[in-house]
Structure 1
Amino acid sequence: MQFRRSPWRNRVMTIENRAADTANTAYRVRFTTDGVNFNNSSVADPIPVGRQILAAAGIRDVENYSLFAILLNGEFEDVRLDETFDLRGKGTEAFAYFETDRSFNFTIEQRQMSWGKNLISGKALRTLAGIDERYTIYLEVRGGHDRPIADTDLVDLSGKGIERFITVICETTEGLAALPSTDRQFLENNGLAYEIVGDGEASGVVIKNFPLPPGKFDHDTVDIMIQLPCGYPDASVDMFYTMPWIKLKASGRYANCADVSHQFAGQNWQRWSRHADWRAGIDGIRTMVARAELAFAKAA
């Protein structure tokens, strides 16, 4: 099993500097065995080995335990018994330890974590990943409906493959369901302004002022609306829609398969009929933006 290695691990201190640090500072650490409750302790050595860290937690038979550092980005890193770990960063270092030699990997918000038990609670997931109460945690179910995980629920991590979790905000200020975290990250990382719109029980995302190929259409930008079906992101998204309606500048007509109207959220959208297979657990808003870009580029 492969784990990330900290670049601080191999940093060497002189005996004199290490002794000086030990004499002047007690390094604060926190420990958890359930991912929810943490106990405070301290370690005198600035670069202790794993067995010293476990000893600070009150563990004597350290050979029967596994130890993980909880990094600032939320990921887990294994710390072997005779491996050093630098405690000289700012703040308190956090660790999880388990009476086992096996670990179970999972991802949440695209961050890889490890857990020393086959069962993990929703509360532990929320605490370890720093997910606040506005968001609901879902277990990804390939080819089916994602399963919401309450704080009191237990998830078995011992199945085949790595379990993946996503989060969705419970409600926006308008009371509409928001996008999964992977979609939000894609839009925000690419500087795409968007809003969630609703029409009865249906919802969609509108990407604002999306740039069109220069000189090809009678407008430079459009709003792209992607209607989200019940069960998204596992349920397939098919077509996309634009506002205002656009025509090809060279011919003065609408592009092929882009001349039908679609009423949604009080507006009359131009429908672009473009079809492709949908891969549950893989495709999302990123896919639809790529389809729109390709459709605009090939429009004739």
Structure 2
Amino acid sequence: MTDFPPDSEIDDLAEAVRQGRPMRVGAPFRVMVADTSLEFEQKLLRDPKPNGRQFVELVDGHPVDQFIVIAILPNGDFEDIRLDEPYDLRGQGAERVLVVRSDRTYRFKIDDRDLEWPQPCISGFVLKKIAGLAPNYNLWLDVPGGHDRKIADSDIINLDEPGIERFISLIDQTTEGLEALPSADRMFLEEHGFSYELVSDKHQDAIILRDFALPDGKFDHTHTDLLILLPSGYPDCPPDMFYVFPHLALKPNGYAPKATQVRFSFAGRSWQRWSRHNESWRSGIDGLRTMLARVQTALAEARP
């Protein structure tokens, strides 16, 4: 496509979507196209409603019927672009398109987004790139009936494997220094087999998770009771620090973890306070799942 006019006469799909305006009639326009590397490149189209075949030809893909074309919508969802059916890029707000040689897609979820990938295996790095995570968030594999698994950049996930169906984005950054739980929290705790009780002391609501498993070989105990104070307005307002009983010391020397020297009296027990502060929270999304991911990270990274 070497006969396109100068840049001043080329429209920009992403700009039109952001500005809420229609595409300029008859003008070629830019669209971002990538393969599974997610390294997007600008391509030029004239047809405002191209079909999948046009995208495959745009990247010189042959034979065309061995390729899959996927539009990435503004909310992060993926949508198939069929080879021989027109697709309204502007109407859908789709600024980016994947074009990949494959004969099928593998479906999964990140949070509540329905996504698909044209290959059975995907790296943790690419998965996070698809999710568009903020720097202080990480992805975890949702494991019903077990402990969620944190996804590292170097992990290779087989999307065709049973149980690899849903990933969740959770706050993963900590800094040192109710009459009823929301239904999402209750479902999470029950699905993962946590034993817990809701308690209140001096007008402060809290949840205690009994026999919470600790990282193998790190502390002088294998399990602890975990106390999380629930602030007024939870879950719109975030919990902050967490507390454990019995108090924990690091192996092999018995040193107390950093920023755990303060004792906190609650519900008839003296708890060890872990001063780890929550600096970001997504109202309507984050809850106990998020808080427990932060707890697990703090315990795993504890040092004298």
TM-score by length of structure 2 reads 0.53
Matches within 5 A, 1:24-103: 25-88=27-90, 93-103=95-105
Task: Check conservation: 1:138, 1:146, Cα contact below 8 A.
Answer: yes
Hey, what's the Cα distance between the residues in 2 that align with 1:90 and 1:105? 20
Match status 1:226 vs 2:207: yes
* Structure 1 pair 37–267 and aligned structure 2 pair: CA distance change class (3 A): same
> CA shift at 1:89, angstroms?
5.5
> CA shift at 1:163, angstroms?
1.7
Q: Cα deviation per residue 1:236-265 (whole Å; 9 max; x = unaligned)? A: x99998999xxxxxxxxxxxxxxxxx9996
> CA shift at 1:285, angstroms?
4.8
> CA shift at 1:117, angstroms?
0.3
Q: What is the aligned counterpart of 2:264 among 262, 266, 270? A: 266
Give the structure 1 partner of residue 160 of structure 2. 158
**May I ask how many residue pairs the two structures share in their alignment?**
197
* Structure 1 pair 21–82 and aligned structure 2 pair: CA distance change class (3 A): farther
Hey, what's the Cα distance between the residues in 2 that align with 1:134 and 1:242? 22
Match status 1:111 vs 2:109: no
What stretches of structure 1 of length at least 5 have no aligned partner? 1-17, 176-181, 187-203, 211-220, 245-261, 272-283, 287-300
* Structure 1 pair 243–145 and aligned structure 2 pair: CA distance change class (3 A): closer
Hey, what's the Cα distance between the residues in 2 that align with 1:129 and 1:243? 29
Structure 1 residue ranges (4+ consecutive) displaced by more than 4 angstroms after TM superposition:
89-92, 237-244, 262-265
Task: Check conservation: 2:141, 2:164, Cα contact below 8 A.
Answer: no
- Secondary structure of the residue aligned to 1:266 is strand
What is the percent sequence identity of the aligned residues? 36
Give the structure 2 partner of residue 141 of structure 1. 143
Hey, what's the Cα distance between the residues in 1 that align with 2:76 and 2:28? 24
Task: Check conservation: 2:207, 2:227, Cα contact below 8 A.
Answer: yes
* Structure 1 pair 123–240 and aligned structure 2 pair: CA distance change class (3 A): closer
* Structure 1 pair 103–81 and aligned structure 2 pair: CA distance change class (3 A): same
* Structure 1 pair 133–21 and aligned structure 2 pair: CA distance change class (3 A): closer
Hey, what's the Cα distance between the residues in 2 that align with 1:56 and 1:243? 54
TM-score by length of structure 1 reads 0.54
Give the structure 1 partner of residue 280 of structure 2. none
* Structure 1 pair 79–222 and aligned structure 2 pair: CA distance change class (3 A): farther
> CA shift at 1:148, angstroms?
1.6
Q: What is the aligned counterpart of 2:133 among 131, 134, 138? A: 131
State the one-letter code of the partner of 2:35. T
Cα RMSD after superposing both structures: 4.1
Hey, what's the Cα distance between the residues in 2 that align with 1:43 and 1:33? 18
Task: Check conservation: 1:22, 1:44, Cα contact below 8 A.
Answer: no
> CA shift at 1:113, angstroms?
0.4
State the one-letter code of the partner of 1:268. F
Hey, what's the Cα distance between the residues in 1 that align with 2:246 and 2:230? 11
What stretches of structure 2 of length at least 5 have no aligned partner? 1-21, 178-183, 189-195, 215-222, 233-244, 248-262, 270-286, 290-304
Task: Check conservation: 2:50, 2:86, Cα contact below 8 A.
Answer: yes
